[in-house]
Amino acid sequence: MPKLSFSHWTDPLCIWAFVAQDQLDRLLAEHAPRLVVDSRVVPIFGSIAWRFTHGPWSSGGVEARVRATAEIAHAHGHPEVDGSCWRGDCPSSSWAPGAAIKAVAALEHAGHAEPGTTGHYQHALRKLFFVEGQNIARRSKQLEAAEALGIARAGIEERLDDGSALALLAEDLQEKERLKLQGSPTYVFDHGRAMLYGNFPYGVLHATVEELLRGLGPEGSAC
């Protein structure tokens, strides 16, 4: 049976990606045998300090970001998120957890981790940040999350130490610019022929995948 492959682009510190995970989980539950997901990193939050001092969060500061995060989470069925992750020991950049995600992706692509491991790891890191308030830019937290999923830490450390994980993150950034992705989360189908970005109803995602799956057959797609 032919399978539909698509890429799912998210930033590790994106609250919209966190709440939208429910949609992806639902989609996989319905069509898992026919879907192949390539979990990619779209690094948006390169400098958290800049966002608070000169960027889009500068007018409201930390407390405004805390409130906004909690409001988004609560509106999408996640009352366990209170937004306090932006206080105290807050990550300086999403590039650090992004590199750890690419290290896991390299392990998965090399056959040293089960298919789908990268996506599970991404969500585990986001949950560690948004729910538990942990600084996922710290390597210790990245490795703890990996071990909890049964991922060997040695492979991650090797790829972080030799720079290969960071190189893969740079490749994701280049691809993000080539595709002109607007942000996180973004679904990319058929090498960019179809994209879904941001907060949209599940029905849109479901209908898109249904049509593309139908297009894998001999009659072609209606998209």
Note the pTM of the prediction, 2 decimals.
Answer: 0.93
**CA neighbor of 123 nearest in space, from 106, 103, 140, 146:** 146
Cα distance between residue 110 and residue 48, in whole Å: 32
Residue 148, pLDDT score: 96
Asked if residue 148 lies in contact with residue 124, where contact means CB atoms within 8 angstroms, the answer is yes
State yes or no: pLDDT of 219 exceeds 50.
no
What is the spatial order of strands in the sheet that 186-189 belongs to? 35-41, 4-10, 186-189, 194-197
Q: Give residue 218's pLDDT band: very low, low, confident or very high (50, 70, 90).
A: very low
CA distances from 20 to 6, 78, 107, 163 (A): 16, 11, 25, 30
Q: Residue 21 is which amino acid? A: Q
Cα distance between residue 210 and residue 146, in whole Å: 33
Average per-residue pLDDT in the chain?
94
Considering all CA atoms of the chain, what is the largest pairwise distance in Å, rounded to the nearest integer?
56
Q: Give residue 190's pLDDT band: very low, low, confident or very high (50, 70, 90).
A: confident
Least confident residue range of 13-17, 21-25, 69-73, 187-191: 187-191
| CA-angle at 162, arms to 179 and 158, nearest 5° | 105
